[in-house]
Amino acid sequence: MELRQLEYFVAVAHELHFARAAAMLHVAQPSVSQQIKALEIELGVQLFDRTSKAVALTSAGTDLLPLATQLLADAVHLQRVAHTSARRVGGQIRIGFLGDEYAQPRAERLFASIRRHHPRLVIEFTQVDFAEHHRALETGEVDVAFVLDPAPDSIATVPLFEWPRLVAVSKSLADRYPDGMGDRLREEPIALPIQMASQPWRLGWTPASQGSGPTFVVGEESMEAMLAAVGAGRAYCVVPEYVARFYPQPGVTFLTVGDVKPCLVGIGALRSRLGEPHIEAVLKIAESVTQGRKARTAPRS
């Protein structure tokens, strides 16, 4: 017995006309008649009463119709499950994070969706330093990471949410200007990660009040080193708000400054690795979470 034979049987049963059933199936009428006859022989029953004027189901045909319909529906469901399983990825993916990005509502929806669509994919979280989170992707320490803008051209990102940013200054500097920093920061050096001191990053992580004039940069290797420079009064720095909660430092005060806007946080991966199934799967789901639909668009740079 073939599924095709059951499909022909159900079609003729619904149309009660061999020619109309053949037209609906886009096959020749003789083919339908031959397959119905072959099915009747295999089952050992007559399915239709045929006359020159009408076609009607026999009692056996009436009993078998719901079973044939269910078998066809089960076959379609089986095919869908197989296709879904084939698209699922397995193995392990390492995801870098800075603070508590994974607790943001969109990030929570992202990981819930990953686990739902790819239950065999094991997620391993790895904390990376603010100063190293771009490089962690480039060195292969992680496969995917939460990335702060602006990302280098080598990294493709899917935007997820915004993080407020604060200005970290020495407590002594904050005490000298209790009414706010105002333009005072223009006269202060800024601490930036050595690894991320490119022009786009420098512009994106420098307060607008600095203007377009020269800025003296103190390069540091890590967030802790940046904050140590701040506490020692050698510089100030702009940081995501999680730093105030995760990196309390003696002698450092975190301030809200009007022209320091939130930063965009995305999930990102190296462009050279976008074809890898587990990475592609994560970014595709991130896009659907961000857009509220399942359509795929190109990750932004």
pLDDT in tens, 199-235: 788 788 887 766 555 456 777 889 999 999 999 999 8
Q: Which domains occur in the chain, in start order?
A: 3-87 (1.10.10.10), 91-162+264-291 (3.40.190.10), 165-260 (3.40.190.10)
The pLDDT of residue 153 is above 60: yes
Average pLDDT, the chain: 86
| 241-295 tens-digit pLDDT | 999 999 888 899 999 888 889 999 999 999 999 988 899 999 999 999 888 644 3
Higher pLDDT, 152 or 215: 152
Q: What share of the chain in percent tops pLDDT 70?
A: 89
**Average pLDDT over every residue of 22-33:** 92
User: Which pair of tokens denotes residue 213?
Assistant: 């004039």
49-75 residue pLDDT tens: 988 889 999 999 999 999 999 999 988
* pTM for the full predicted model: 0.66
Question: 168 exposed, middle or buried (CB, 10 Å; 0-12, 13-18, 19+)?
Answer: buried
Q: How does pLDDT run across 160-209, given as a tens digit for each residue?
A: 999 999 999 999 988 888 877 767 787 888 888 887 767 788 788 887 76
The pLDDT assigned to 293 comes to: 44
What is the per-residue pLDDT for 298? 43
Query: 3-state secondary structure string, the chain?
Result: CCHHHHHHHHHHHHHCCHHHHHHHHCCCHHHHHHHHHHHHHHHCCCCEEECCCCEEECHHHHHHHHHHHHHHHHHHHHHHHHHHHHHCCCEEEEEEECCCHHHCHHHHHHHHHHHHHCCCEEEEEEECCHHHHHHHHHCCCCCEEEEECCCCCCEEEEEEEEECEEEEEEHHHHHHCCCCCHHHHHHCCEEEEHHHCCHHHHHHCCCHHHCCCCCCEEEECCHHHHHHHHHCCCCEEEEECHHHHHCCCCCEEEECCCCCCCEEEEEEEEHHHCCCHHHHHHHHHHHHHHHCCCCCCCCEC
